[in-house]
Amino acid sequence: MKIEYMLAFLGGVELMALANALSLGLLPCRLLGLIFMLAALAAAALLGYSACYKHLRKAVDRRSYHEGVCKGIRIGRAERQSEVQRFLENE
């Protein structure tokens, strides 16, 4: 997981370096600098998404598990109450 953060940081540093080089006119062609910047931005976005996807997926799974448990508890409670009512009606 820490490798994703390091790669995202390096992607951001590369993006800033390319932006500075483009603004200072150090690249031979503005189109080339723009292409490099877009590629670095896409790589940083992809790394950020892949770093966060696992955590978001875990949170969604944990929440759906919790909702399922709560629903099971409610169903069990309702079944017990209906069984008690049937027992009381039979007596």
The HSE-up count of residue 18 (CA atoms within 13 Å, CB side) is: 19
Q: Which amino acid is at 63?
A: R
C-alpha to C-alpha distance for 48 and 11, rounded to whole angstroms: 10
Determine the structural domain holding residue 59 and report its residue range: 2-90
Q: How confident is the model over 15-40, as pLDDT tens digits?
A: 777 777 777 777 777 777 778 778 87
Contact 49, 4 (CB under 8 A): no
Phi, psi of 29, deg, nearest 5: -140, 130
Euclidean distance between the first and the last CA atom of the chain, given in angstroms as a whole number: 63
Number of domains present in the structure of the chain: 1
Q: Which amino acid is at 51?
A: A
- Within 8 A by CB and 6+ apart from 51, the residues are 1, 4, 5, 8
- Is 1's pLDDT higher than 60? no
Q: How confident is the model over 50-91, as pLDDT tens digits?
A: 777 766 677 666 777 777 777 777 777 778 878 877 777 776
